[in-house]
Structure 1
Amino acid sequence: MEMEQVHQSSTDAASSLLVTALNEGRDVIMDGTLSWVPFVVQTITMARNVHRHRYRMGAGYKVGENGDVIENYWERIGERQQLLQLS
């Protein structure tokens, strides 16, 4: 396995754990440089809204055939259903 594939595999695993933890309402601690601005902005937005919406991993960093860069790290997949508790 090439080094780039190893990096991508570990990054995907970490992203999957992050989105799962947030969707389940767990606290998370992120460690790293967080120097990739679009990733940081999208991750903070997801963390702020996860109590209202559910998320899944997006396609990530992709370069289109025309050379345009698309960065979609998280996709909102729907509204979180609020349970009404009758007392």
Structure 2
Amino acid sequence: MKFDVVIGNPPYNKGMDLDFVDLGYKISNKYTVMITPAKWQTTADDYSGCASKNINYKQFREMYVPHMSYVCFYPQSMEVFDIYQIDGNYREY
């Protein structure tokens, strides 16, 4: 089954979001919109701590970055969400 638009906010746990983005792209006919951590942009190609068994950060960049038409980066999560992040731990206010 394919959808015209896939929107998601995957779990932010050691690269699990890569699986959600990967699946979202595969089931989308037109648009995939995801809220993800920026780690896929900065993680080293040889990083071994990724939880995904299907795709790593290097593969993700090679496969999906060429298809991205817009990336919006918010260095301060409080600009968008009512949460505060410290070293991967999230606190809601």
Larger relative helix fraction? 1
